């Protein structure tokens, strides 16, 4: 592997542009932390520890003049089946058994109708959006700059041919990619 002519110090140790690789596409991952249960067991303790980790990273200075406006750092975790079951049940929708559905978060502008486009793309792929859930948020903690640009977070409940797991996973991946590229405002 060839390196740039700048040298080998820690800040300049990027491979030179070659083939499909372009170092200008690299992004910093400053302050990334991982918390897991080594036995793979789901636990609310993981979320509590993650929250503590985030709070201990405030030294990064990723806030504006108003400390309520930040860079959007957060936690990524699997959604518990029981929580989703309860939430979608409140919308009049029975959640399929674990592994027979998928959901995700779409960040849309207030009043945006992109959910119809998402539904259409899903149908083209042999998937079906059974229901949409508006994710509850705590907008009162946002500073004025963040509040002015706050999206609405929507969760689709997507089902398909889960008996062919690889095909179902592939269709979900294509749905995600097509939605990202085809729907304005996502």
pLDDT band at 172 (very low <50, low <70, confident <90, very high): very high
Residue 108 main-chain phi, psi, to 5 deg? -120, 160
Residue of 102 and 149 predicted with greater confidence:
102
The residue-averaged pLDDT of 15-28 equals 82
* Helix ranges, 75-132 (H): 81-89, 114-124
Q: What is the pLDDT of residue 13?
A: 64
Catalytic residue numbers? 30
Residues whose CB falls within 8 Å of the CB of residue 101, separated by 6 or more in sequence, listed in order: 95, 130, 157, 158, 159, 162
pLDDT tens figures, 120-145: 999 999 999 999 999 998 888 888 88
Reduced to 3 states (helix: H, G, I; strand: E, B; else coil), residue 85 is helix
Residue of 98 and 70 predicted with greater confidence:
98
**CA 71, 75, 79, 82: dihedral to nearest 10 degrees?**
-110
E strand or H helix at 48: helix 44-55
Judge contact between 36 and 46, C-beta under 8 A.
yes
């Amino acid at each position: 592997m060839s390196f740039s002519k700048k040298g080998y110090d820690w800040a300049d140790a990027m491979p030179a542009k070659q083939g499909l690789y372009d170092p200008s596409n690299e992004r910093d991952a400053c302050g990334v932390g991982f918390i897991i249960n080594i036995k793979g067991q789901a636990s609310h303790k993981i979320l509590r520890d993650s929250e503590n980790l985030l709070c201990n990273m405030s030294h990064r200075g990723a806030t504006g003049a108003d400390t309520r406006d930040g860079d959007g750092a957060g936690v990524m975790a699997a959604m518990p089946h029981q929580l989703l079951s309860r939430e979608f049940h409140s919308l009049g929708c029975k959640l399929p058994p674990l592994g027979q559905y998928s959901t995700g978060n779409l960040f849309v502008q207030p009043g945006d109708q992109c959910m119809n486009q998402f539904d259409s793309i899903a149908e083209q792929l042999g998937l079906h959006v059974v229901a949409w859930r508006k994710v509850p948020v705590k907008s009162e903690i946002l500073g004025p700059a963040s509040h002015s640009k706050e999206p609405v977070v929507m969760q689709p409940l997507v089902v398909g041919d889960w008996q062919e797991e690889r095909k179902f996973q592939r269709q979900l991946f294509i749905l995600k990619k097509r939605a990202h590229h085809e729907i304005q405002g996502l």
